[in-house]
Amino acid sequence: MAVTVLIPTALQKFTNSQATIECTGSSVAELFDSLEKHCPGIKARLCDEAGQPRRFLNLYVNSEDIRFLEGIATSLKDGDEVSIVPAVAGG
């Protein structure tokens, strides 16, 4: 099962400058593990010590925010697209 992951520029140093990565996983949590196998070090940038997404990241599955779905337990299927979007704040 292939899932396309859109990688922000700030994390592309872990992906050999690739903006998209094909990975596998039946949930967002499994996808994080798959990403770590292909891009060592990236999971620590995505997840805190408890395995939850870092607060400054927004994660979307097919344009749906996972916070409004099932969080990291959100199911994935073949062909899904996961976007990792750094949060932007201003004042």
Residue 3 in contact with residue 23, Cβ under 8 Å?
A: yes
> DSSP per residue over 16-71, as a string?
TT-SEEEE--SBHHHHHHHHHHHSTTHHHHHB-TTSPBPTTEEEEETTEEGGGTTG
- What pLDDT, in 10s, does the model give residues 4-59? 999 999 999 999 999 999 999 999 999 999 999 999 999 999 999 999 999 999 99
Mean pLDDT value across residues 83-89? 89
Q: Tell me the mean pLDDT in the region 47-75.
A: 95
Taking a C-beta distance cutoff of 8 angstroms, is the pair 72, 53 a contact? yes
Six token digits for residue 31: 């996808």
Q: Do residues 47 and 84 make contact, with C-beta atoms less than 8 angstroms apart?
A: no
